[in-house]
């Protein structure tokens, strides 16, 4: 494929690639993003649950230690215990509060003696809610420093060992509060989330690559070949066909293209044949026109010659006889009467000859008696000096046709009868005329030697071919058609059919 053709199709390829890629990638991106987010939330919740569980275990250990040291009144050991907790990086801070919120012990002794207020921002996530709606003992809050921590609260219940010193009112005696930094956990989650994003993007890129490779092989290249074939087809390459492809939509499109190309090629071939036939018919009509003009001129010459030779000499003889009669009328009346009788005979012969000339130009029977009588008279005259016997069947035609139709039919049958005498060597001829259902039909058949239509040339050098062409043209001018059925050795059948719009006049 040429560079120009490829550049013309490049925008289509880009657009199709982009659309299909987006159609595949966008849903995949949404699915992967949703799955990654859900996985991140599940991991986060699982880690928080694990941290809550660990904090609960650590709180129980601390609570056990406190339950042992507080009744025994070992404040120094408690202080050492909280100072040791401050060295554990898993704890940001640890407070031991009494029931009023006062800090009794703290890691690194920070804020000892201060009272924590429930209205502090980092306490509001729980204390702003009713008691029954507060979250469990552990939750994530933002400390005053802005750091996110996992806060755990463990109440110190008023047990049997504590009743000796404290009133048994059913309320907790103290509260252990620990804050565990969330940053290491969130960093681990963020790292895992980032890895998931990278894996998702990698999977997405691989998917895009695979989709484009498959799209290029299964769709784009095949469409480019199809478009290239359409382009060449539009430039006149009607013989171009696409190879057989898989029976998918593009394969069906290629098959439809091949079928369309075959139909167009067949139509183009038929059009070429019709064009050649039209050129041949135009050439034949030109030859026919030349013959008609030549025939008209020959007819004029013949009429002029007959008038000059026959009528002119006859009239001259009549004039001479009349002049001789005038001279002899006084001196020799009997001889004058003899000359007058001779002049009268010349007048009769001249009149008959004049009728023959008029009949040759147009038979009077056609105008006076109609088509059937004119054809019968013409057949009798043509076959008078031959061994041909003819019969005529006009039982299904007793009407008069329009004048121009009768003239065309008469001249056509006149030419056919003339050809029978000159070429057929027939012994029997049958002429049939019929009218039914608005169609006039005339048929003439003979038992002659027949001929081959393929060998007939419609040129001026072949009068017979031009005669047949003239017959077809006459009938065609009346809106009808003429068929010739003949083979060598099987005689000839000529059938003409002309539609008659108006009802024929009955004779």
Residue 109 lies in a domain: yes
**Count of the separate structural domains present in the chain:** 2
Residue 384 lies in a domain: yes
Range of the domain at 34: 3-189
CATH label of the domain that carries residue 55: 3.30.450.20
Residue 486 lies in a domain: yes
Residue 394 lies in a domain: yes
Domain termination residue (choose one: 174, 189, 204):
189
Angle, helix 463-477 to helix 249-306, in steps of 10 degrees: 110
Residue 312 lies in a domain: no
Q: What is the CA radius of gyration of the chain?
A: 62
Residue 439 lies in a domain: yes
Per-residue pLDDT 10s for the chain (507 aa) are 444 444 444 444 456 667 777 777 778 778 877 887 887 777 777 776 766 666 666 666 666 666 665 555 556 666 777 776 666 666 677 777 777 778 877 776 777 788 877 777 767 677 777 766 666 666 777 776 677 777 777 777 666 656 556 666 666 777 777 777 777 776 777 777 788 788 878 887 888 788 778 777 777 777 777 777 777 777 777 666 677 766 776 677 777 777 777 787 788 888 888 888 888 777 766 666 666 656 666 666 666 666 666 666 777 777 777 777 777 777 777 777 777 777 777 777 777 777 666 666 666 778 888 899 999 998 998 998 889 999 999 999 988 899 889 988 998 998 899 899 988 899 999 999 999 889 999 999 999 999 888 777 555 455 567 778 888 888 988 999 999 999 888 899 999 999 998 776 665
Beta strands 439-446; 492-499: pairing state: antiparallel
Evaluate whether 261 touches 240 at the Cβ level (below 8 Å). Answer: yes
Laid out side by side, the sheet with 481-486 consists of: 389-396, 428-436, 439-446, 492-499, 481-486
Give the tokens for residue 41: 């939330």
H/E element holding 500? none
In degrees and rounded to multiples of 5, residue 111 shows phi and psi of 60, 25
- SS3 sequence of 414-477: HHHHHHHHHHHCCCEEEEEEEEECCEEEEEEEECCCCCCHHHCCCCCCCHHHHHHHHHHHHHHH
Evaluate whether 181 touches 147 at the Cβ level (below 8 Å). Answer: yes
In degrees and rounded to multiples of 5, residue 248 shows phi and psi of -100, -170
Domain termination residue (choose one: 189, 211, 231):
189
Tokens 């966008």 correspond to 26
Separation of alpha carbons 143 and 54, rounded Å: 21
Give the tokens for residue 287: 């030859």
The pTM (predicted TM-score) of the whole model is 0.43
Give the tokens for residue 414: 């006149």
CATH label of the domain that carries residue 454: 3.30.565.10
Domain termination residue (choose one: 189, 205, 220):
189
Residue 264 lies in a domain: no
Angstrom distances, CA of residue 323 to CA of 264, 319, 326, 336: 84, 6, 5, 10
Residue 233 lies in a domain: no
């Amino acid at each position: 494929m040429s560079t120009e053709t490829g550049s013309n199709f490049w925008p289509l390829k880009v657009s199709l690639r982009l659309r299909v890629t987006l159609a595949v990638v966008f849903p995949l991106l949404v699915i992967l993003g949703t799955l990654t987010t859900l996985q991140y939330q599940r991991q986060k919740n699982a880690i928080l649950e694990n941290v809550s569980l660990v904090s609960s275990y650590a709180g129980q250990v601390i609570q056990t230690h406190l339950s042992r040291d507080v009744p025994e009144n070992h404040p120094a050991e408690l202080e050492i215990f909280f100072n040791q907790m401050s060295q554990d990086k898993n704890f940001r801070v640890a407070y031991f509060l009494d029931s009023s919120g006062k800090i009794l012990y703290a890691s690194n002794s920070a804020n000892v003696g201060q009272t924590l207020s429930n209205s502090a921002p980092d306490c509001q996530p729980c204390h702003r809610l009713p008691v029954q709606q507060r979250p469990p003992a552990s939750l994530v809050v933002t400390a005053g420093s802005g750091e996110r921590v996992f806060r755990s609260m463990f109440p110190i219940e008023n047990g049997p060992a504590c009743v000796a010193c404290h009133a048994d009112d059913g309320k907790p005696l103290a509260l252990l509060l620990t804050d565990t930094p969330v940053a290491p956990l969130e960093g681990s989650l963020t790292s895992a989330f980032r890895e998931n994003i990278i894996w998702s993007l990698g999977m997405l890129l691989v998917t895009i690559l695979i989709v484009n490779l498959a799209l290029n092989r299964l769709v784009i290249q095949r469409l480019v070949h199809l478009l290239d074939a359409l382009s060449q087809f539009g430039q006149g390459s009607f013989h171009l066909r696409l190879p057989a492809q898989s029976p998918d939509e593009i394969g069906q499109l290629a098959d439809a293209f091949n079928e369309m190309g075959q139909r167009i090629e067949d139509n183009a071939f038929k059009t070429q044949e019709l064009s050649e036939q039209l050129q041949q018919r135009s050439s034949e009509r030109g030859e026919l026109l030349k013959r008609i003009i030549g025939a008209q001129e020959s007819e004029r010459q013949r009429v002029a010659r007959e008038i000059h030779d026959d009528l002119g000499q006859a009239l001259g003889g009549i004039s001479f006889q009349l002049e001789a009669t005038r001279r002899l009328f006084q001196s020799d009346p009997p001889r004058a009467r003899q000359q007058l009788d001779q002049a009268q005979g010349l007048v009769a012969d001249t009149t008959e000859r004049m009728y023959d000339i008029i009949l040759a130009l147009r038979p009077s029977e056609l105008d006076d008696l109609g088509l059937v009588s004119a054809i019968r008279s013409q057949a009798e005259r043509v076959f008078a000096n031959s061994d041909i016997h003819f019969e005529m069947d006009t039982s299904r035609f007793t009407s008069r046709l329009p004048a121009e139709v009768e003239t065309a039919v008469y001249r056509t049958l006149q030419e056919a009868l003339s050809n029978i005498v000159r070429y057929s060597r027939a012994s029997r001829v049958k002429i049939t005329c019929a009218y039914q259902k608005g169609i006039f039909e005339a048929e003439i058949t003979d038992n002659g030697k027949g001929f081959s239509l393929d060998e007939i040339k419609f040129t001026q050098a072949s009068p017979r071919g031009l005669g047949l062409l003239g017959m077809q043209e006459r009938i065609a001018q009346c809106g009808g058609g003429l068929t010739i059925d003949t083979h060598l050795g099987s005689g000839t059948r000529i059938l003409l059919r002309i539609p008659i719009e108006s009802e024929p006049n009955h004779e």
